[in-house]
Amino acid sequence: MTVKVWAFSEAPSSANEAAAAARGIAESAGGTFTVVGVDDGLGLAGDDKLILRSAAKLATSPEAAAEALARAVKEGGPDIVLVGATRNGKEIASRLAVKTGMHCVSDVFGLALTDGKLHGRRNVFAGKLLAEVVAPVPCVAIIKVGSYSALQPSAAPGTTRDVGEVSTKTRVVEQVEKKRGTVDLKGAKLIVSAGRGVKKKEDLALVNDLAAELGGAVGCSRPLSSDMGWLPEEHHIGLTGISVHPDLYLAVGISGQLQHVAGIKDSKVIASINSDKSAPIFEASDYGVVGDLYAVVPAVMKELKARRH
Amino acid sequence: MKVAVCVKHAVDEAELKVDSSGSPLLAGAASKMSTFDKNAVEEALRLKSAHSGEVSIITVGTVEAKKSMKEALAMGADRGVLVVADPLTVETRRTAELLAAAIRKGGPYDAVLCSEGSSDIYSGSVPPMLGELLGLPYFGYARKVEVNGQTARVERALEDSVEVVEAPVPFIASVVSEINEPRYPTLIQIMQAGKKPMEELAPDAILPGSGPAPTLVASMKAQTMARKKVVFEGTPEESARKLVEALAAEGVLPR
């Protein structure tokens, strides 16, 4: 069979990650891939593009985007629809599976088509286990964020398809952009992250200074953002926060619960500073320092400064 | 207000053991209410106390799931419905179909709440599938839920923005864990929870002719973290020097 793979996201960068996965499947199994976007369709990769349009903006309404995509899928007949795992993307893919009766797998990577079935892997139990998933075709697969390197946008104009009117049951009354830090955590090469070992909000200065010295971004474990509110939620790294893949992840005063480690697994090097020798973070680290962060962080700062001169 | 909360009874990921071949020992493993579901139960209880009414807990699970049900009832929910099936081996869409059927049977509800994803599998697909299956307004990743008369107003926490979205009641929402701090039941509440009504439903009874549900998970194996696990224990100065040397040797420090 000649497999027909679609890569979709309402966000172009995420669509282009899915496109990398789609290209891999199409090339190895023998088939074609189409990159599907919405609205103006700018920034998409691939030679074959399909841009879905409606009177309403589709990018900001997952309900409308799912209906638009379902109409296009029923007409275009792809065997596999790959959807980027943004928060809205998960909704779109899940709705699509219900609308079309396609099987649906979530947060997958390492995809391949074998014996007419889509095979992939995914983390389960907060990353403690790796599951092999097998979905009969046709299917929808939600692609784990950051598991494929996005294809570069192309100049191909693509085909635009007006999907007609799509109604929605909810109405967006206000949209507030979150305040962005100076460095984007998802793309950061170096991240210094703070955890419960930091005793007072003011003491975050230690972590901020260390991140500044290293030219890195500041992250945190869940308690600091969700429970203490010391940092905005977008700094929260872990299962329910952001997954990161820096060259160096430096965990300061983080115990290393599974949910946190789930978000840092793809880091090249993990280092940690914690006063508790039995903290699970040391099991997840390449280099660990057992010691009081209030003494170790200044000492590390001094070493780094000395190294610079 | 009549509120339904979908909860999942899950193997405790922190306690899960594997055998020498790396296969998980799921049978008899320690289990708990899926971590983030407590936030959904809490939010339902807050809606109940603001608008009066009743909170129902709906679970697709094995009989073990009664533990989570009792915990939610102890927190203050009024009744429980258990659809007897194993969500770990059933395709996500079937879980959503079973929940939707149980919601239709016990409803109509003014609100259906879920968490953003389960602590074991964390697909996050069931809540939007419910929205689609039930044809109700759906809010994903709610960090604030308000009901004023017949209008629900929800703040959705997205990656780069917060959206304020409105829809008429009834509605479905998945909540993020920062929405609230779940309450702990008192000893008296825990003892009384056993007396609250709990109904068991067979999948065939609410979803007739649905046949066996496929599983899409072929296998699960432990993943080992291939980390060097070098630990420095000395004076802060010694350890700091060794750490910086090691990181420099890895080539991960800025030049």
State the ipTM, two decimals. 0.94
Cα nearest neighbour of A234 on chain B: B159
Least confident of A188-202, B83-97, B210-224: B210-224
Among A91, A128, A172, the residue with its CB nearest the CB of B16 is A128
Shared domain for A114 and A44, answered yes or no, is yes
State whether B140 and A90 contact (CB < 8 Å): yes
Distance (Å) from the C-alpha of residue A140 to the closest C-alpha of chain B? 12
Site from B11, B13, B120 to mutate, A interface, most A CB atoms within 10 angstroms: B13
CA-to-CA distance for A69 and A264, rounded, in angstroms?
32
User: Which residue, A281, A149, A107, A253, is CA-closest to B225?
Assistant: A281
The answer to whether residue A182 is domain-embedded is no
CA-to-CA distance for A137 and A3, rounded, in angstroms?
10
Number of domains in chain B: 1
Q: Mind listing the pLDDT tens digit for each residue in A130-186?
A: 999 999 999 999 999 888 999 999 999 999 999 999 999 999 999 988 765 545 788
Site from A103, A124, A268, A307 to mutate, B interface, most B CB atoms within 10 angstroms: A124
CB–CB of A301/A279 below 8 Å?
no
State the pLDDT confidence band at B104, using cuts at 50, 70 and 90: very high
| Residue B89: predicted pLDDT | 81
The answer to whether residue B251 is domain-embedded is no
Site from A303, A307, A309 to mutate, B interface, most B CB atoms within 10 angstroms: A303
What mean pLDDT value characterizes chain B? 94
| Residue A186: predicted pLDDT | 82
- Strand positions, DSSP E, chain B: 2-7, 9-11, 31-33, 54-61, 79-84, 111-115, 138-148, 151-157, 161-168, 171-175, 198-201, 217-222, 230-232
Shared domain for A149 and A226, answered yes or no, is no
CA-to-CA distance for A262 and B122, rounded, in angstroms?
11
Mean pLDDT of all residues in A268-275: 96
| Residue B64: predicted pLDDT | 94
State whether B227 and A270 contact (CB < 8 Å): yes
Among A125, A277, A300, the residue with its CB nearest the CB of B16 is A125
Mean pLDDT of all residues in A90-100: 98
Least confident of A166-180, B40-54, B191-205: A166-180
What does DSSP say about strands A103-114 and A117-124: parallel, antiparallel, or unpaired?
antiparallel
The answer to whether residue A185 is domain-embedded is no
Host domain of residue A224: 190-308
Which residues in chain A are contacts of B177 at CB distance < 8 A? 222, 226, 240
| Residue A183: predicted pLDDT | 53
Distance (Å) from the C-alpha of residue B197 to the closest C-alpha of chain A? 31
41-80 in chain B: CB under 8 A from chain A = none
**CATH number for the domain that contains residue B34:** 3.40.50.620
Shared domain for A137 and A265, answered yes or no, is no
Q: With a cut of 70, say whether residue A1 has pLDDT above it.
A: no
| Residue A182: predicted pLDDT | 45
Q: With a cut of 90, say whether residue A234 has pLDDT above it.
A: no
Q: Mind listing the pLDDT tens digit for each residue in A62-81?
A: 999 999 999 999 999 999 99
State whether A129 and B24 contact (CB < 8 Å): yes
pTM (two decimals): 0.91
Shared domain for A133 and A18, answered yes or no, is yes
The answer to whether residue B10 is domain-embedded is yes
Mean pLDDT of all residues in A182-196: 85
Percent of chain A at pLDDT > 90 equals 86
Q: With a cut of 90, say whether residue B226 has pLDDT above it.
A: no
CA-to-CA distance for A156 and A149, rounded, in angstroms?
20
The answer to whether residue A132 is domain-embedded is yes
The answer to whether residue A13 is domain-embedded is yes
Mean pLDDT of all residues in A122-126: 93
CB–CB of A127/A262 below 8 Å?
yes
| Residue A110: predicted pLDDT | 96
| Residue A180: predicted pLDDT | 57
Which residues in chain B are contacts of A285 at CB distance < 8 A? 227-229
Shared domain for A135 and A241, answered yes or no, is no
| Residue B255: predicted pLDDT | 74
Q: Mind listing the pLDDT tens digit for each residue in B130-174?
A: 999 999 999 999 999 999 999 999 999 998 889 999 999 999 999
State whether A303 and B241 contact (CB < 8 Å): yes
Shared domain for A56 and A126, answered yes or no, is yes
The answer to whether residue A168 is domain-embedded is no
Residues in chain A: 309
Q: With a cut of 90, say whether residue B205 has pLDDT above it.
A: yes
State whether A97 and B252 contact (CB < 8 Å): no
Shared domain for A195 and A158, answered yes or no, is no
Q: Does the CB of B87 have a partner CB in chain A at under 8 Å?
A: no
CB–CB of A33/A25 below 8 Å?
yes
State the pLDDT confidence band at B250, using cuts at 50, 70 and 90: very high
Mean pLDDT of all residues in B85-110: 93
CA-to-CA distance for A294 and A300, rounded, in angstroms?
11
Helical H runs in chain B?
37-51, 66-75, 92-106, 126-134, 187-193, 203-206, 236-250
Site from A67, A117, A129 to mutate, B interface, most B CB atoms within 10 angstroms: A129
Shared domain for A196 and A147, answered yes or no, is no
